Amino acid sequence: MDPLLITADDSQRAPSGWRARDFWRLVRWTKPYRRYLAMGLCCTVLFAGLHTVSIGGAFPVFQVLLEEEGIHGWADRAIAGKRLGVEFAPLTDAHVARVIRTHHDSEARGLNVRGGDALSDPQSRPIRAWLGDVVIAPVGGEIAVQVRDFEGQRLVTLHAGEIPFGYSLLNRIRAVLPADAPETKLRTLVWILAALVAVAITSNLFRYIGESLIARAILRTLFDLRDGLYERILHLPMTFFAGTQTADLVTRFVQDVQEVQRGLITLFGKFVREPLRAFFLIGLALTLDWRITLTMSVVVPLALVLFWAVGRSVKKANRKLLQAYGAMIGALTASLQNLRVVKAYTAEEYERARLDEVDRRMFRQQLKLAKLDAFLSPMMETVAVLAGSVLTVWLASRVLDHTLSLSTFASLSVTLAMIFDPLRKMTDVYVRIQRASAGAERIFQVLDRPVETVPAGAGTELAPLEKGLEFVDVSFTYPGAGAPALSDINLSIRRGETVALVGPNGCGKTTLVSMLPRLFDPDRGEVRYDGVNVRHATHASLRRQFGLVPQEAVIFEGTPIENIAYGNGRADRARVEDAARRAYADEFVRAIPGGYEAVLGERGSTLSGGQRQRLAIARAIYRDAPILIFDEATSQVDSESELKIQNALREFAKGRTTIIIAHRLSTIQFADRIVVMDAGRIVDSGTHKELFDRCSVYRTLCETQFVNAGN
């Protein structure tokens, strides 16, 4: 596995905290769908506002149920107090209104009206009648009031100020509701609750629309992200895959993208919705009593410190968990794909123990994350209980002191308790974003990898081969390998020539032919096509010149037609069947239920090794490329089929440049030239007779490997 991808070296390892760069790069992928996000966020704002209105509706309900003064009395007290610059305590006396405090710039304060004073009507009317007169008085109208303080009673004149917009709206709402009376309280309550139900329905409708629009934008973003990831992987050089486990790449497509999905949905959902809810609820609490609300805000910094500390651990644990997922998928895939060998060697218990160990490592990371997730919510609830207990004692003392009404006490308790709900949910937001950040980091490690390139100013479009192919001083070492796979290779292949490459296993034959279509690029030296360095040719024009039959036949899940005409959007049925006949695949394809339209199993699991090999040969014949590469092309074919295929290859190779890698003497005897390789070098070349007489490596191959291969 590529250490850069899994553990990351010191220069690329993410810091233990939140790596904001990768996460915000991820957010920028949502830009094409910003219209959906904007509409969704607008709906979220409307939901948060209306949700707060529905929570604020608890106050008039409590006012009706708990307070003698009712809605009208409370509204008159609030509006009159605002116009006079005085905050009144709840009415406990029919003829007196107690002052809690006066506004700092009010006329009342200038006339030495202070908290604790009692105000009454000079004409001894009920205090509610006097408050009603203040409400309807014209702006600047004189209001006579009798003030009783610790020094005695005095008469002062105040002037009614303007009614602010919010209080004017309250006055209009009050006018719609039934008058305060014991027999009308139930009707008033029904009106209030009906309005709250309508607000709740509307707010949740906005929430549904907003979340749907946000989900659409995010899922489209993830589609683009997977598409970009897939495109990048397909265009990465083969050296990347030489040191990378496929299972780890699959994990990035599945598990990492899933973490990103959760993080983005959380970011544009809860991360926006819950702070907005908290913001509006705090605004409501400030309206009810700003001093109490600001005092309770001291809890927020403590919660933020805890979030940050836990989030660092979440990011680190989730990165290790994603790596563990890759290891588990790799181990499980290897066991299932090689189940025949596992059973043949009675290694079931060995494989189970190996998988258990991999799973145990994943379990430890999962448990660590689960503990961190489990810690945050109880921690927040504990903080909320402590803060709520202190708040309750404080509010209760004010109620007993008659400076706070029961309805305000109950409303503040509900509102401040509701503020802790979005804060509690924000703990999940932070964890999700940290986990998404770890997934984004791993995804961008792939997306940032350089793809196969052609030097600037190059990009030659190659025509069919006219002269030949050349390897000039070519050397190559696989990443992480201790010894070079190829060393100082010099080889020329003429157009139309059939060249066989032979040598011990691991001597570099497959690596050498992989240089031709640029599956690998040499570390030193050049590979030339008609004198043009293949690095300067476009990938498409270069690779169109080659038909490849690899050592291990690759069969894709699909029909025989799709496999033979692989890479062609519109297959020519006649050409497909002709290629199959020439590769001796037609006979078994027609015997399959469904024939050429049958769906083959994953990796051709329903076919034998020889059948898969013949389908791969048919694919090369269908491509009809001017250069053919056969890498152990008949290694899994029985002797009878091999003879037929060899005859087909001889016929098909006429006029084409053909390179054959084989371990069977019968496969290479028709070659124009045989090139012998050993330890990454070319040690000799010539005909079979010449090499057998003078080349000890070739003679050993003939006496051992070729003979053991059945010749």
Domains defined for the chain, CATH in brackets: 3-53+193-447 (1.20.1560.10), 70-179 (2.30.42.10), 554-624 (3.40.50.300)
pLDDT for res 75: 83
Round to whole Å and give the CA distance between 615 and 596: 11
Round to whole Å and give the CA distance between 165 and 457: 69
For the sheet containing 97-102, what is the strand order?
A: 86-88, 97-102, 118-120, 142-149, 152-159
Q: Is 8 exposed, middle or buried (0-12, 13-18, 19+ CB in 10 A)?
A: middle
Round to whole Å and give the CA distance between 107 and 612: 97
pLDDT for res 528: 94
| Cβ atoms within 10 Å of 286's Cβ, excluding its own | 14
* Close Cβ partners of 402 (under 8 Å, ≥ 6 residues apart): 89, 90, 92, 98
| Cβ atoms within 10 Å of 172's Cβ, excluding its own | 9
Closest among 84, 125, 83, 119 to 99, alpha carbons compared: 119
CB of 196 closer than 8 Å to CB of 52: no
Q: Is 639 exposed, middle or buried (0-12, 13-18, 19+ CB in 10 A)?
A: exposed
Round to whole Å and give the CA distance between 228 and 234: 10
- Grouping H, G, I as helix, E, B as strand and the rest as coil, residue 479 is coil
In degrees and rounded to multiples of 5, residue 133 shows phi and psi of: -65, -40
Integer angstrom CA distances of residue 579 from 459, 552, 633 = 32, 19, 16
CB of 133 closer than 8 Å to CB of 82: no
| DSSP symbol at 177 | S
Kindly give the interhelix angle for 348-400 and 270-296, rounded to the nearest 10 degrees. 40
Round to whole Å and give the CA distance between 623 and 632: 19
In degrees and rounded to multiples of 5, residue 472 shows phi and psi of: -120, 110
| DSSP symbol at 460 | B
DSSP H or E stretch at residue 599: none
Residue with tokens 């002062």: 156
Count CA atoms within 13 Å of residue 254 on its CB side.
Answer: 11
Strand partners, 630: 549, 660
* C-alpha dihedral sign at 228, 233, 234, 235: positive
* Close Cβ partners of 559 (under 8 Å, ≥ 6 residues apart): 594, 596, 597, 598, 599, 600
pTM of the model: 0.64
pLDDT for res 474: 93
CB of 678 closer than 8 Å to CB of 504: yes
pLDDT for res 486: 92
Round to whole Å and give the CA distance between 207 and 280: 16
pLDDT for res 611: 79
pLDDT for res 493: 92
What is the tally of helices (H) and strands (E) in the chain? 28, 15
Residue with tokens 């027609």: 590
DSSP calls for 180-239: S-GGGHHHHHHHHHHHHHHHHHHHHHHHHHHHHHHHHHHHHHHHHHHHHHHHHHHTS-HH
Round to whole Å and give the CA distance between 563 and 597: 11
Round to whole Å and give the CA distance between 473 and 488: 4
CB of 516 closer than 8 Å to CB of 501: no
Count CA atoms within 13 Å of residue 44 on its CB side.
Answer: 27
Round to whole Å and give the CA distance between 210 and 498: 66
pLDDT for res 300: 61
What's the Rg (C-alpha) of the chain? 41
Round to whole Å and give the CA distance between 19 and 315: 9
Closest among 661, 608, 652 to 631, alpha carbons compared: 661
pLDDT for res 224: 86
Round to whole Å and give the CA distance between 58 and 285: 12
**Structure tokens, 318:** 């989730």
528: alpha, beta or left? (left if phi > 0; alpha if psi -120 to 50): beta
CB of 268 closer than 8 Å to CB of 40: yes
pLDDT for res 205: 93
Integer angstrom CA distances of residue 452 from 233, 235, 236, 613, 636 = 10, 6, 6, 29, 32
- What is the mean pLDDT of each successive set of 10 residues along the chain, which is 711 residues long? 33 41 81 91 88 76 68 83 87 86 87 89 89 89 89 89 82 74 73 85 91 89 84 77 68 78 79 76 70 61 63 66 70 65 65 76 75 67 67 69 67 70 68 77 81 70 90 90 89 91 87 89 92 88 86 79 81 87 85 83 72 83 87 63 71 83 74 90 89 87 63 43
Round to whole Å and give the CA distance between 421 and 219: 27
DSSP H or E stretch at residue 31: none
Strand ranges (DSSP E) for 406-478?
A: 468-476
pLDDT for res 39: 93
Count CA atoms within 13 Å of residue 241 on its CB side.
Answer: 14
Q: Could you give the dihedral angle defined by the CA atoms of residues 174, 176, 181 and 186, in that order, rounded to the nearest 10 degrees?
A: -110
Round to whole Å and give the CA distance between 296 and 542: 71
Q: Could you give the dihedral angle defined by the CA atoms of residues 449, 454, 456 and 461, in that order, rounded to the nearest 10 degrees?
A: -150
Round to whole Å and give the CA distance between 634 and 468: 26
